[in-house]
Amino acid sequence: MFRYDWSKAEVQQIYNQPFPELIFQAMTVHRGHFPGNKIQRSTLLSIKTGFCPEDCSYCPQSAHYDTKIDKHGLLPKEFVMEKAAQAKEKGSTRFCMGAAWREIKDGDQFDAVLDIVSSVASLDMEVCCTMGMLTDSQAERLKDAGCHAYNHNLDTSPEYYGNIISTRTYQDRLDTLKRVRSAGMTVCSGGIVGMGESIEDRLELLRQLATQSPHPESVPLNMLIRVEGTPLADEQQAVDGIEFVRLVATARILMPGSLVRLSAGRTQMSDETQALAFVAGANSIHSGDKLLTTANPGDDHDDMLIKKLGMSFVGKEDGCGCGHKEHHHDHQHAANS
């Protein structure tokens, strides 16, 4: 049974257990819903980079800050298709396309995005988009084009949020997630650690996600990448590996049927920390040499690590490619059962 009524005290109690108890509980929950030794590989591509009007203080793509990234307009479909085919070749079952927009605007660009989405979907990969806020009709058109998941992060707790972003409210983000859900796409939503927030803020982020019904089908956990030129470039808070693994385990326990994805920041993690995170219930990674604009470990390193751990990547032979134990094609069902 999945729960949607977690209290702050309960979440703290889970997180603060002795480490072995916490891992044991997380591992038990994990194995009830997923194979314990499989990791989903999800590949990212920034299809429109930079010049974003939002002021998210971690983000190199915000037009408010002077950062050294390659900015470009919407990429041509042929280029995106080539990248998607390469990702599939490398064993990726999900292809996630990001656009540095505050919100989607109707018109030629969105029409081109819909064409790209249906082409990538025809490769038999799960398509995910992350393009900022959207309207009900845009969400429906994306869904109809074959977009399986929409990523929109809550990023942190409602209390800490105002320290990080001023151009979009927490409520805007919750409203966007509702629209995604109503259109029938699956929800991908998580956050970032290492921005100066407290452990309570991290736990409140998880509680905000875990009290949504259904739970987001995937929960990306990012460790801040400090990018020169952004206000958080000199952030002093380093994320402790054990604290990070505790957070992964807590996410797994609160949201048993969701993919918990290690996203940004894996270049700063030791192989041992990643291994512990997998043991604690993380079962997906963002793969490739690049995230959207910053460095990522790359497929060769990931292949080596997964092999060393005797684990394997989820493939199409595992049903719909999401890695759930039950073979199914209905992720909402999985998140609710």
- Residues identified as active-site: 52, 56, 59, 96, 128, 188, 261
Burial category of 74 from C-beta neighbours within 10 Å (exposed 0-12, middle 13-18, buried 19 and up): middle
Nearer to ligand SF4 among residue 110 and residue 278 (C-beta): 110
Residue 126's SS3 state is strand
Phi, psi of 174 (to 5 degrees): -60, -40
Distance (Å, whole) CA 283 – CA 20: 19
Q: Which one of 6, 15, 34, 58 is in contact with ligand SAM (CB under 6 A)?
A: 58
Our finding on whether 50 is near ligand DTB (CB under 6 A) is no
Contact of residue 293 among ligand DTB, ligand SAM, ligand SF4, none (CB under 5-8 Å per partner type): ligand DTB
Our finding on whether 274 is near ligand SAM (CB under 6 A) is no
> Are 99 and 50 spatial neighbours (Cβ–Cβ below 8 Å)?
no
Distance (Å, whole) CA 113 – CA 118: 9
Distance (Å, whole) CA 15 – CA 101: 35
Our finding on whether 192 is near ligand SAM (CB under 6 A) is yes
Number of H helices, E strands in the chain: 12, 10
Our finding on whether 217 is near ligand SAM (CB under 6 A) is no
Only one residue has tokens 């927490």, namely 170
Quote the least distance from Cβ 294 to ligand SAM, whole Å: 6
Quote the least distance from Cβ 166 to ligand SF4, whole Å: 11
> Are 278 and 35 spatial neighbours (Cβ–Cβ below 8 Å)?
no
Nearest to 190 by CA among 177, 175, 172: 177
Nearer to ligand SAM among residue 92 and residue 222 (C-beta): 222
> Are 47 and 97 spatial neighbours (Cβ–Cβ below 8 Å)?
yes
Quote the least distance from Cβ 52 to ligand SF4, whole Å: 3
Residue 12's SS3 state is helix
Quote the least distance from Cβ 264 to ligand SF4, whole Å: 11
Contact of residue 324 among ligand SF4, ligand SAM, ligand DTB, none (CB under 5-8 Å per partner type): none
Residues in contact with ligand DTB, shown as a per-residue x/- string from 130 to 159 under the rule CB under 6 A: x--------------------x-x------
Nearer to ligand DTB among residue 291 and residue 335 (C-beta): 291
| Torsion angle in degrees (nearest 10) through CA of 189, 161, 201, 65 | 90
* Stretch of 237-245, 266-274, 289-297, 314-322 contacting ligand DTB, by CB under 6 A: 289-297
Contact of residue 224 among ligand DTB, ligand SAM, ligand SF4, none (CB under 5-8 Å per partner type): ligand SAM
Nearer to ligand SAM among residue 132 and residue 256 (C-beta): 132
